[in-house]
Amino acid sequence: MAERKTLLFGPVKSRRLGKSLGIEMVPKKVCTMNCIYCEVGKTTDLTLERKEYYPWDLIEKSILQAKELEDTFDVFTFTGSGEPSLNIHFEKAIALAKKIIKKPVAVLTNATLLHISSVRKALAEVDIVLPSLDAGTPETFKKINKPLPQIEFKSVVENLKKLREEMKGEMWLEVLFVKRLNDSEEELKALKSVIDYIKPHKVQLNTVVRPPAFEKAQPVSFEKLEKIAEFLGEKAEIIVHKKKLDKVTKTFKNLEKEKIKEKILNYIKRRPSTVEELSSALGIEKKLIKLFLIELVSEGTVKEKIHEEKTFYLA
Ligand code: SF4
């Protein structure tokens, strides 16, 4: 493999940070979690081991390069395609960046290593920490973020609170909503009480707008995000563009629709059925089955047949 010359990438335009020059601290998908919505793909190195994922020389050289590029960006950001605090040089890298770069320094983290006091101490010095927390309960945390079993939800919350108290800069907490996983009334209440406990400066609401690591991660609508923002209070802001999200939700709906139509077709290929039979076999409302059957009949893939005063559908 070719030797890396820099760990920098960008500057990229970021909705939250403006023009951001990024530094990657670990290779792609070295992470403590395997979030179902991760846009980088499934975690290939699920680990809690802190080590020299990149050597100090390369990190130092990259931060010095960032200093040279200072006129080209608004924020210098520790980010990438994994958890940056897993690199053993994380604390030292933050200290150097803060010392030489005049522009604000930001860190994106999944907050699972905040029990390490040196990590918290380093983060307490940066201008903006952007941790993510998508659940209000341990069960939902496991379902959405798939953390290593040693990582406890309660400890993540407690350490986020500790960090918030120790911070000199700001904490902007990101919450990503996944349809049917953390958007119910119950979940939102639990999430709100956790957020009220941590007291971040901002709560930034996001959803699945890029292809997720796991197919089951689906976006919530923009209208849903607006309702959630209202419920969470004045610190909450939506960080996705309405136009983009509307397009994404439409695509997901179409995909879902196609899958249901395929299920109906597969079932009636084996056995001509009535609307009632299809509804109970597939667990889908009769009203919906009827709508899909109308489409399938008009497409010519399904035929109706009356038998003993009942309407049957066959492929
Ligand atoms: S913490 Fe971030 S990098 Fe790790 S799996 Fe989740 S979204 Fe992906």
| Residue boundaries of the structural domains of the chain | 8-240, 257-314
Q: pLDDT, tens digit, for every residue of 180-198?
A: 999 999 999 999 999 999 9
- Using the predicted structure, report yes or no on whether residue 1 has a pLDDT greater than 80: no
Least confident of 20-29, 215-224, 283-292: 283-292
Pocket of ligand 1 (CB under 6 A): 31, 33-35, 38, 40, 43, 82-83, 110
3-state helix, strand, coil in the chain (%, to 5): 45, 20, 35
d(CA 14, CA 22): 11
Atom of ligand 1 nearest to the CA of 37: 7
d(CA 254, CA 105): 41
Q: Which fold has domain 8-240?
A: TIM Barrel (3.20.20)
Among 29, 30, 34, 35, which residue has the most ligand 1 atoms within 8 Å of its CB, making it the best to mutate?
35
Q: 2 falls in which pLDDT band (50, 70, 90)?
A: low
Within this chain, domains 8-240 and 257-314 share the same CATH topology: no
Q: What is the mean pLDDT of residues 154-176?
A: 97
Task: Count CA atoms within 13 Å of residue 60 on its CB side.
Answer: 4
What architecture is domain 257-314?
A: Orthogonal Bundle (1.10)
Among 33, 47, 143, 176, which residue has the most ligand 1 atoms within 8 Å of its CB, making it the best to mutate?
33
Q: 155 falls in which pLDDT band (50, 70, 90)?
A: very high
Predicted local distance difference test score (pLDDT) of residue 45? 95
Percentage of the chain beyond pLDDT 90 is 74
Q: pLDDT, tens digit, for every residue of 46-64?
A: 999 999 999 999 999 999 9
Q: 206 falls in which pLDDT band (50, 70, 90)?
A: very high
d(CA 20, CA 75): 5
Q: What is the mean pLDDT of residues 256-263?
A: 81
pTM: 0.82
Residue 244 per-residue DSSP state: H
Q: What is the mean pLDDT of residues 82-103?
A: 97
Predicted local distance difference test score (pLDDT) of residue 294? 87
Q: pLDDT, tens digit, for every residue of 225-240?
A: 999 999 999 999 999 9
According to DSSP, the β-strands at 105-109 and 170-177 are unpaired
Cα 142 to chain centroid distance, Å, stands at 13
Cβ within 8 Å of residue 121, ≥6 positions away: 91, 166
